[in-house]
A and B are shown apart, each in its own frame.
Chain A
Amino acid sequence: MKIKISKHPKALLIACLVSLLTIGNPSVSQTLDFSESWYAYQAMKTKANSKPMTWDRLPDWSGVWTGSPDYLPYYRLDKDGSLIVRVSPKNTTETSKIAAPLTAEYQAKAIKVLQDRSKGIDWDYVSNCIPAGFPRWVASGYLKEFALTPNMVWMLNEEQSEVRRVYTDGREHTPRDEAYPLFEGDTVGFWDGDTLVVHTVDNKAGTWDRSGTAYSDQVNTIERIKRISDTVIEDQMTIYDKLSLTKPWNLTVHFKRVTEPTDLRIRMFSCNENNNVVQDATGNTRHVLPGEAGYKDPNLIAQPTQNQTR
């Protein structure tokens, strides 16, 4: 029997690896519907062949961090109705038609959001104190903290005190028959040296940010997170979403350490503490002001009273 050797040794290697993983772990291949990212993640884990993390080898990610403030929302419709962005936040010339790997359905959704906005109708679910959720977590403009232990990492967002729990103790994702959509998803990870590699599934559908571009509940991600300098933690993300993206989307996000004030602390964040934003009858965002029906007075909101308005 003749054996045909592939002209592409890398492709052959990947195919073999996938086959081995599939054979070696049939329960995974039969039950998970995010195979592309899961196998890529597993390949990274196999390659890293890392020892279990220990307290003395944990990197120092202490401090308070924030997303890069350099990025402005500059996502809009061109005259012909197509999506358009500026190339750089510091470049005010709109030079690049967006070539997002959005599926046609999700491009249409994004355009609809911008068309509504041009008519003065604008609403973001976060305004109603719904958590940003992940992946939007990384784009949230509020503070971040990272708590590292050998078996678990907590990634904390000031906004709505949202917590991403990363299990690094070798466990698998939640069994499929117990899984359900979560704002932050279900995350497992491992350490490749001082790089935290994490895989996230089981997210609720949401939007990437205020631009309104959406992702589906099929979104799943691989992240390689590392402190690359005294002031920067880098998150190299690959995002998979068979419903909203035509191909995996690679991007890099930087969290920057807050250096002033030096003792800034993240506090518990209740979005309902003083939120008088509502969606009006037209679908637009509206403030309820003191004296108007429905106004919630922050000084009375936690008091034993039936009437929180004044």
Chain B
Amino acid sequence: MLKYFFIGTGLLSILCSSLPVSAHHSHAMFDTAKRISISGTVVDFEYTNPHSWLKVNNAADGSLWSFETNSPSQLLRKGIKRTALPAGMKITVTAMPLKDGRNGGQIVSVKKEDGSTLAIEPEAPAAGYAQ
């Protein structure tokens, strides 16, 4: 009986597994075990499907960084509206970097100049997290 419980639960997990919430593509390109911080100004907050993107001008060297995040409905469920990050706002992005070292990553959180933080993904990777 226990054997069949395991079978059922295992299979259920296969069908139902879809994480992170932003489930449009594999996360193999991100180093989910690392975190980087980039401070700068918002160039554009693309509130779009299948993912939203935050473009940031890095204050350190003027380079453009592109950070992927959730879809609009997923952001709305976290209370993050399109107006949350207007162009020109000074912010610090914490992100999982692209493994290949290019200027991009997936947003973990965004800290604004007033000290408030938009939390989007878990600060630490989940144990056993599969990309």
A67 to B21, CA, bound (A): 10
Within 8 A of B (CB), among A102-122: 117, 120-122
Q: Tally A residues with Cβ within 8 Å of B.
A: 71
Select B16's contact among A68, A120, A269, beta carbons within 8 Å.
A68
Question: What 5 additional pairs, Cβ within 8 angstroms, besides A71-B12, A85-B14, A158-B73?
Answer: A121-B28, A122-B28, A143-B73, A275-B24, A285-B26
- The contact sample of 20 A-B pairs, CB cut-off 8 A, is A67-B16, A72-B19, A88-B9, A139-B18, A141-B20, A141-B22, A143-B73, A252-B12, A258-B77, A261-B79, A264-B73, A264-B76, A269-B49, A271-B24, A271-B50, A274-B46, A274-B51, A274-B53, A285-B28, A287-B66
Q: How many residues of B contact A (CB 8 A)?
A: 53
CA distance A76 to B128 in the complex (A): 9
Please give the distance in Å from A177's CB to the nearest CB on chain B.
32
On whether the beta carbons of B11 and A251 are closer than 8 Å, the reply is yes
Q: Is A208 an interface residue (CB 8 A)?
A: yes
A298 within 8 A of B: yes
User: Which residue of A has the minimal Cβ distance to B68?
Assistant: A287
What's the minimum C-beta distance from A48 to chain B, rounded to whole angstroms?
A: 25
Do the beta carbons of A251 and B7 come within 8 Å of each other?
no
A98 within 8 A of B: yes
A227 at the binding interface (Cβ < 8 Å): no
A274 touches B48 (CB 8 A): yes
B117 close to A (CB within 8 Å): no
- Name the CB-closest residue of A to B9: A87
Tell me, in angstroms, the Cα distance from A276 to B115 when the chains sit together.
Answer: 32
A26 within 8 A of B: no
**A266 near B73: Cβ-Cβ < 8 Å:** yes
Closest-by-CB residue of B relative to A252 is B12
Cα A89 to Cα B48 in complex, Å, equals 30
Determine how close the nearest CB of chain A comes to the CB of B123; give it in whole angstroms: 17
